[in-house]
Structure formats: C-alpha cells, structure tokens
C-alpha cells in the first residue's frame, strides 16, 4: 500500500511540473545576466538578453502604436538599463527588467 501511495504521489508531482506553462521565452535570471556581462559586455550572454529586451519592447510599442526616441531603444542604452535594473534587483530576471524599462520609456 505504501509503495502505491509513493508511486501515485510521484506521478502527480512529476505531472504537475510538466503542467507549468508560459507565454515567454528567452529571458534570463538577473544573476546569470550580470555574471555574463561582468565577464564581457560583448559576450553572447550579455548581448543576447539585450537583443531580446529590445525586440520585446519594440513589439509592445508597435502593437500599442506608441513611438519613443530612438535613443531609448539603442543597444547600449538597453544593455545598461538592464544591467542597472539587475544590479538593484539581483533575484529577479530580465523580463522583470524589461517591464520596468518599458514603463519608464513609454
């Protein structure tokens, strides 16, 4: 009986983890992003999330018909905004940073 309960609990626990859903991909934990940027601002680990952030914000702005200055969406501007947010919020992720940056630039 105990073996059956353990088996049932294991199946329920593992299926629950597969049930997690998301509508986002490509973002990264702030700690990993900062580590990559500390190694090199030109590394893929630093540039990738920056490109993702620019695309994400551009998509939201486009969909809402909002225009902002070109400076707001430049690669270097976005990278340092992400770095700044992540240094202040190391346990969050780059998606949280992008949401905050979007609020500031719109």
Q: pLDDT tens digits, the chain, 106 residues: what are they?
A: 554 434 444 444 444 444 465 556 667 899 999 999 999 999 989 999 999 999 999 999 999 999 999 999 999 999 999 999 999 999 999 999 999 999 999 8
Q: What is the distance between the terminal CA atoms of the chain, rounded to a whole angstrom?
A: 60
Give me the pLDDT at residue 23, please.
57
Give me the pLDDT at residue 28, please.
85
- Give start and end residues of each alpha helix (H) in the chain: 2-18, 30-39, 44-64, 75-88, 94-105
Q: How far, CA to CA in Å, does 27 sit from each of 10, 66, 94, 95?
A: 30, 23, 6, 6
Give me the pLDDT at residue 27, please.
79
Confidence (pTM): 0.74
* Nearest one of 69, 65, 66, 95 to 82, comparing CA atoms: 95
Rg (CA), the chain: 19
- Tell me if residue 93 falls in helix, strand or coil: strand
How far, in Å, CA of 87 to CA of 79, rounded? 12
CB of 50 closer than 8 Å to CB of 57: no
């Amino acid at each position: 009986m105990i073996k059956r309960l353990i088996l049932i609990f294991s199946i329920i626990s593992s299926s629950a983890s597969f049930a997690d859903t998301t509508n986002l991909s490509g973002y990264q934990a702030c700690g990993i992003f900062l580590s990559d940027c500390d190694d090199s601002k030109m590394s893929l680990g630093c540039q990738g999330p920056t490109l993702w952030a620019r695309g994400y914000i551009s998509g939201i702005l486009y969909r809402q018909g909002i225009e902002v200055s070109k400076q707001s969406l430049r690669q270097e501007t976005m990278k340092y905004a992400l770095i700044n947010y992540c240094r202040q919020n190391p346990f969050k992720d780059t998606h949280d940073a992008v949401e905050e940056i979007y609020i500031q630039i719109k």
